[in-house]
Amino acid sequence: MMKVELIRYTPEPEKLVAAAAKLCYSKIGIDGILDGLDTEKTEKFLNLLMDLGHESPIEHVSFTFGVEGISRVLSHQLVRHRIGCSYSQQSQRYVKLEQFEYIIPPQIEAIDEARNIFVTAMEKDQEAYDRLVEILYEENFNKYVKEGKTEKQAAQMAEKASIEDARYVFPNACETKIVFTMSARALFNFFKMRCCERAQWEIRDMAEEMLIKVKEVAPILFKHAGPGCLNGPCPEGNMSCGKHVEVRKKFRKE
């Protein structure tokens, strides 16, 4: 099951963005940019800023998420977002997966025959991985002992060398865990693309949960965040899902 947590974020993100923008529009120096920015003035200035679409000041704040229960399909899509983003993903090279978890797409889950085929394939992948690790471990252990390593050293080195090659048998459905940080501006772009109905179901589910969580701590900052059709015409052109009315109702309600 997917789990999305907002584990850290820039303290008082909206006040910091307001202060940075304040410097752009006034003669005040850096020693005074936070002066007078109480809750009311911060909200007023930030509302004006976001309505104008002045996005450069929002790069000063960032949000760090911890996510698990997602597939490698999703993580491959996620890391394509590079500017203003940082990632740390659980390694299959260093972590031995004695019983790997996997994500079943809802469409496959809903059809008994499809689900049975899928689960059988996952079980065979695990069997293949276990057998490959066993074969490679024995080969590598003997090699390292012959090279003069102690049995303890040989065992450690053999396991790493074995699992880093055996992992090639794992499918895209394999579950993974990842911690990542995005600037607010990177999040705007991420939500625009991945909250869209044309995004794949899994990353769209994650994006929508992320948006809910950042709105809880910075509601004004993210009041216009969402799919591309939320604040204007659908950017997908002829490839539009045609559901912009429903999509706008959904996100504006949130």
Active site residue 82: no
Compute the distance between CA of residue 182 and CA of residue 82 in angstroms, rounded to an integer.
9
Contact 23, 142 (CB under 8 A): no
Joined together, the tokens standing for residue 39 give: 């809750």
248/28 Cα distance (integer angstroms): 39
In DSSP terms, 175 is beta-bridged to 71
> Catalytic one among 194, 198, 204, 248?
194
Cβ neighbours for 182, distance < 8 A, ≥ 6 positions apart: 62, 63, 65, 81, 84, 85, 190
Classify 92 as helix, strand or coil: coil
DSSP state letter for 13 = H
Distance CA 79, CA 24 (A): 32
Residues facing 208 on adjacent strands: none
Q: 239: exposed, middle or buried (C-beta count within 10 Å: 0-12, 13-18, 19+)?
A: exposed
Residues involved in catalysis: 194
